[in-house]
Chain A
Amino acid sequence: MQFLYSGLTSGSIYGLVALGFNIIYNTTGIINFAQGEFVMIGGMLIYTLFSVMGLPFPIAFFGAVGCAFLVGIVFERVFIRLTRIKNELNLITVTIAASIIIRDVAMHVWGRDSLPVKEFIPVFNIKMPGGVISSQSVLVILVSLAVAFGLNLFLKKSRYGKAMRASFDDPVAAETCGISVSTIRVMSFAVASLLGAVAGVIIAPIMFVTYDDGIMTGLKGFSAAILGGLGNFGAAIAGGLMLGIFESFSASVIPSGLKDAVAFLVILLILFVKPDGLFGKKKVHRV
């Protein structure tokens, strides 16, 4: 049972990152390979504002998340907007280029060491059937579920959410209806960056923050997104949880060094068998 609990914790994080991938993909059709870097930025900012400068947690939290929001806006305006030929290959590589830049700027600002972040909620273990679960893990799980639920509501019910979905379906038609597609694109990157930062903040006390965390986080998050099926928020969280649990169980039977390999093996299998994800709808291929 203990494996299940630790799997749930890491799975919720993957799910949160996967949500970031989803929100950008849902509005722009772009896969943002710098999503993991947004998570790292969130963790780094909370380290500076909360652990070093000693601000009260709510202020530090909003500061970190707000900065990430701005990073998302700049990211879209600079990298995505200025790309001349917007085909899939160019957009993938431009986000990879951006992730290299963000990572290295972070290395120069915060250094190469792993940085510890203070806990911001009381830490205690909760007894569960067959094992214990720490209060921090509960927080991570609750936040990811709340975010997924909130996002779903936002996209389905609110005006902005509807505008976002409309501009993915048909940008020209959306523009005709008076939706500014360009603003929507910026917003989706900003929101994704914000989500990444939220994930970065809540996991910072559990793991240390290092400048190159983003690669692995991003890859796992993307795996979770594909596992669940791109384009569906509930599926993203489910994919994340499944990946986390699977990983944690596999660590009990094989050497832990191979744990990451197992995660990628699962993704490869999913891609071979059902490329649209476990819960994805089959897309129509037109000739």
Chain B
Amino acid sequence: MRKLNPTFFIICTLAVVGIGFGVYNEYYIGVASLMMINALNTAALNVLLGYTGIISIGQAAFFGIGAYVAAYFSVNLGVPPVLTLIIAPVVAFAVAWVIGYPVLKLHGHYLAMATLGFGMIVYIFMNEFYDITGGPSGFMGIGSFHIFGLNFGTEKSFYILMSGFFLLSVFLYEVFDKSFLHYKLKFIKSSESACRSYGIDVARTKLLVFSSMAAITALNGVFYTYYTHFISPVSFSFKYSISLICMAIVGGLGHITGGIIGAVFLGFIPEVFATFDDFEMIIYGGLLAVVIMFFPGGIAGTLKKLVKKNA
């Protein structure tokens, strides 16, 4: 294991604490909470796309599975919210395992198509099974997250909960980035046949990574549910999967900081350009195209290059 580089973790902590103490506007606190959820989803996608080379255009499905499972269990079955933090990721892990077993044998555009098809199927199911999901009009009446008599219903308290989870995840991602697992995954990305000749069980490793990332994404979905108190299929459509990919690529694939930088950067766009509401997607698409065409490393990669050049 290489030495940990705490710079990014410290920056994140300072930013999170700074927003917690310095910002009083509830709206902006809410934006920050959502941004952290997006950032963790993007970081998970980054591990798939940037490290292991698994193209997944169905991440929104796992996010949605997490959200709906949490909602269904806590509202219809009366399970305490803490338990849904375990149930939802387990369900997503199982689903990802079953889907991933055949799908991960595919590569390139076939894999893209398969994950996309899976995302579409889940999305259609969310719309059609009224009894469980509430259909297109959504799932209402979800309570807030509470544990040991503490209630995380207000914007501020949810922000504190979310930032705790966020910082823990950022730390774990940093540990992952410096561990040997990271080399294994990058090795798989560069050549699967070479991996096999070194005795790495490629299929199993990929399946495990895919399922674990699905579980993490679902966990984010649970937090999202308790934050918004209302979920509808629109939040988990093809569009969300695409914007996650945008964030990961703009931020920088294969750098653990990339996913988080990308999510924060693209998260600011709708806030800064609120007047250009209609042009949001054009800006997304344009940025994505420009980054792929001219800055293959994304923001994180380009920054790293600049730092190296000057040092």
Give chain A's interface residues, CB within 8 Å of chain B.
Answer: 31, 79, 82-85, 88-90, 92-94, 96-101, 103-105, 107-108, 215, 219, 222-223, 226, 255, 257-258, 260-261, 264-265, 267-268, 271-272, 275, 287
Neighbour of A275 across the interface among B110, B245, B281, CB < 8 A: B110
* Interface membership of B293, Cβ < 8 A: yes
Q: Give the 6 A-B CB pairs with smallest separation, nearest first.
A: A100-B285, A264-B117, A97-B288, A97-B289, A31-B109, A101-B285
Interface flags, B284-311, vs A, CB<8A=1, else 0: 1110110011101000000000000000
Within 8 A of A (CB), among B109-131: 109-110, 112-114, 116-118, 120-121, 124-125, 127-128
Interface of A is mostly: helix
Bound form: Cα–Cα A257–B133 in Å? 15
Interchain nearest-CB distance for A56 vs B (Å):
34
B292 touches A83 (CB 8 A): yes
A222 touches B113 (CB 8 A): yes
Bound form: Cα–Cα A272–B113 in Å? 12
A223 touches B286 (CB 8 A): no
* Interface membership of B202, Cβ < 8 A: no
Bound form: Cα–Cα A92–B296 in Å? 14
A101 touches B113 (CB 8 A): no
Jot down 20 A-B pairs with beta carbons below 8 A, ordered by A. A83-B293, A85-B296, A89-B53, A90-B296, A94-B288, A96-B288, A100-B285, A101-B286, A104-B279, A107-B278, A215-B238, A219-B120, A223-B113, A257-B124, A261-B120, A261-B125, A264-B120, A268-B121, A271-B106, A275-B110
A89 touches B49 (CB 8 A): yes
A96 touches B242 (CB 8 A): yes
Nearest B-chain residue to A100, judged by Cβ:
B285
Q: Which residues of B contact A265 (CB under 8 A)?
A: 117, 121
Within 8 A of A (CB), among B92-114: 102-103, 105-106, 108-110, 112-114
Q: Which residues of A contact B238 (CB under 8 A)?
A: 215
B193 touches A287 (CB 8 A): yes
Nearest B-chain residue to A101, judged by Cβ:
B285
Interface flags, B34-51, vs A, CB<8A=1, else 0: 000000000000000100
Bound form: Cα–Cα A268–B279 in Å? 34
Number of A-B contacts (CB under 8 A): 111
Nearest A-chain residue to B123, judged by Cβ:
A261
Neighbour of A84 across the interface among B114, B127, B288, B293, CB < 8 A: B293
A89 touches B55 (CB 8 A): yes
Nearest B-chain residue to A30, judged by Cβ:
B109
Bound form: Cα–Cα A226–B124 in Å? 21
* Interface membership of B249, Cβ < 8 A: yes
Known: A100-B284, A223-B117, A268-B117. 17 other contacts (CB 8 A): A79-B293, A89-B55, A92-B109, A93-B245, A93-B288, A94-B289, A96-B242, A97-B285, A97-B286, A97-B289, A97-B292, A104-B282, A104-B285, A108-B278, A226-B110, A261-B121, A267-B113
Chain B contact patch, size range: 35 or more
Interchain nearest-CB distance for A230 vs B (Å):
9
Neighbour of B289 across the interface among A84, A101, A103, CB < 8 A: A101
B249 touches A93 (CB 8 A): yes
Neighbour of A90 across the interface among B112, B284, B292, CB < 8 A: B292
A96 touches B245 (CB 8 A): yes
Bound form: Cα–Cα A93–B246 in Å? 9
A261 touches B124 (CB 8 A): yes
B289 touches A267 (CB 8 A): no
Known A83-B292, A108-B278, A215-B238; judge A271-B124 contact (CB<8 A).
no
Bound form: Cα–Cα A31–B226 in Å? 39
Known A93-B288, A105-B282, A275-B106; judge A268-B245 contact (CB<8 A).
no
Q: Which residues of B contact A219 (CB under 8 A)?
A: 116-117, 120
Nearest B-chain residue to A88, judged by Cβ:
B108
Interchain nearest-CB distance for A10 vs B (Å):
17
B128 touches A100 (CB 8 A): no
Most buried by B among A100, A108, A261: A100
Known A88-B108, A96-B242, A226-B113; judge A101-B294 contact (CB<8 A).
no
Nearest A-chain residue to B291, judged by Cβ:
A97
Bound form: Cα–Cα A100–B285 in Å? 5
Bound form: Cα–Cα A110–B183 in Å? 49
Q: Which residues of A contact B289 (CB under 8 A)?
A: 79, 94, 97-98, 101
Bound form: Cα–Cα A90–B295 in Å? 11
Bound form: Cα–Cα A42–B296 in Å? 32
Q: Which residues of B contact A82 (CB under 8 A)?
A: 293-294
Bound form: Cα–Cα A255–B117 in Å? 19
B127 touches A271 (CB 8 A): no
Bound form: Cα–Cα A28–B238 in Å? 26
Q: Which residues of B contact A258 (CB under 8 A)?
A: 124, 128
B281 touches A104 (CB 8 A): yes
Known A105-B282, A255-B128; judge A92-B112 contact (CB<8 A).
yes
Q: Which residues of B contact A90 (CB under 8 A)?
A: 292, 296
Nearest B-chain residue to A215, judged by Cβ:
B238
Neighbour of A98 across the interface among B106, B113, B285, CB < 8 A: B285
Interchain nearest-CB distance for B110 vs A (Å):
6
Bound form: Cα–Cα A84–B116 in Å? 26
Interchain nearest-CB distance for B140 vs A (Å):
21
Most buried by A among B124, B127, B294: B124
